[in-house]
Structure 1
C-alpha cells in the first residue's frame, strides 16, 4: 500500500504571498494605477465681464459646470457693478484610467433676469488642461446678445486636431483662435 505523507503548506503559502506582493507593487504603476487618485485641473481660473446691450450686468450669476466621467462639479460667482466675475482654478482628486477614455466637459452659464445663457462650452476626452483654454478664459468679454460662435483652438500636441469650443464671448487673447465661425 501507498502511504501518504503530510506536507507542510505554510512555507508554500508564504512564498506565494511574497511573490504576489512583489508582482502587484510593480504592476500597480501600470495596469492598476487607475485605482489611485490623481490631482487634475478641471478648469483654470476664469475672469470675465458680462454685458447686455453693451452695458455691464450687475448681480448676474455665472455658473460653472464641470464633469470628469460621471463626477460633476459646480460652482458660481456673482457679477459686480462692472459686470466682472471671477471663478478660481478648480482642481479635483480623481481616479484616472490609463486604459479607458474619459469625457471631460466645461460649461459656463449666465443666469440673469429669469434667463440662462450659455457663454462657453468645451468637451474632450481625458483632459481640457490646455494653455489655449487658460489664455482664453483669463479675460472674456461676454455680450449676452451675441450669437454662438464655434471656435477651433490648438491642443497641446500640434499634430492633434484642434479642439472645438462654442462661445458667445470675445477674448483678450483671441490671436490663439485658429478658426471662428457662426454656430448653426
Structure 2
C-alpha cells in the first residue's frame, strides 16, 4: 500500500534536437520556448538557436504520485519574435495522458527540422513499441529525421481513410434498415433516415478519390441504388 505514496518520474518532454528555418534559411540567435503542461499548469523555459539554427532541450521529468485516472501532459514549442517582434509562433504541439516516455517519441524529437513559413499540419505517430496501438495525432510545421519509422505516411492515412469510408457505407445501410422498420411508429425515424441517406450518397461519391480496385469500384452503383431506394421510400411516405 505504501507504493501509492512513492513518487515516480513522469516525462513531460523528451529530449529535443531541432533546427529552425525561415523560407529555407537557418535562423540564428532565435529564442525558442518550450512549454510543458502538468498538474493543470504550464511551465516555460527558453533556449536560443546557434549559427545554423539548431536548438536543444534536455529531457524533462517531474516527480509525481501514481494515479488511477488520466493525468494530462502537454508539450509546445514556440519561436519568439516571429512573425514580428513581440509575437510567438507555435510550431510544434502534442498532448498525452500520464507521460510522453516512449521509444517512438524519443525518435520523433531526435531531429526535427521546422520551417516557420510552412503550413501548420496534423500528423500521426505509429508506435514502434506497439504497432497495434491507436495512432496519436500531433501538430507541427516540421519534418522529422526518423519520420519513416514513427510518422504515419500519407499512403497509410489514405488506406485507413478508405477503410473508414467503406465501413461507413455499410453502417449507414444497416442503420437505414433498422429505421425503415419503425418508420410508421417512430417520429424521429424520418429525420434519422434522411441524415443517413445524405451521408450515404456523400460517402459513395467520395470513394473513387482513393479506391483503385476496379472490382470494388464496380459495386458503387448498386450501393448508390440502395440509398436511392430508401430515399424513394421516404418520399413515398411523405406523399401519403
What TM-score bracket applies, with the shorter chain setting the length? 0.7 to 0.9
Query: Among residues 15, 33, 54, which one is paired with 1:63 in the alignment?
Result: 33
Where does 1:77-156 land on structure 2 (aligned, <5 Å)?
A: 77-97=47-67, 99-112=68-81, 113-114=84-85, 115-155=87-127, 156=129
- Measured in 1, the distance between the counterparts of 2:60 and 2:43 equals 9
User: Residues 179 and 150 (structure 1 numbering): CA distance in 2 closer, same or farther, change over 3 Å?
Assistant: farther
Greater fraction strand: 1
Comparing 135-144 with 63-72, greater Cα deviation is found at 63-72
Mark the runs of 5 or more structure 1 residues left unpaired by the alignment: 1-26
Where does 1:46-57 land on structure 2 (aligned, <5 Å)?
A: 46-57=16-27
Q: Aligned-pair RMSD on alpha carbons?
A: 1.8
Greater fraction helix: 2
C-alpha deviations, 1:121-171, integer Å up to 9, x for none? 111111221222111111111110000121110244333311110010001
Mark the runs of 5 or more structure 2 residues left unpaired by the alignment: 158-240
Query: Among residues 115, 131, 135, which one is paired with 1:158 in the alignment?
Result: 131
Shift of 1:71: 4.6
What is residue 38 of structure 1 aligned with on the other side? Answer: 8
- Measured in 2, the distance between the counterparts of 1:118 and 1:66 equals 13
Q: Determine whether 1:178 maps to 2:152.
A: yes
Contact 1:153 1:179 in 2 (8 A): no
Structure 1 length-normalised TM: 0.75
Structure 2 length-normalised TM: 0.58
C-alpha deviations, 1:74-131, integer Å up to 9, x for none? 211101111111111111112231x211111011111134232111111111122122
Q: SS at 2:106's partner residue?
A: helix
Aligned length: 150
What is residue 28 of structure 1 aligned with on the other side? Answer: 2
- Measured in 2, the distance between the counterparts of 1:65 and 1:77 equals 12
Q: Which has the higher contact order (CA 8 A, sep 6+)?
A: 1
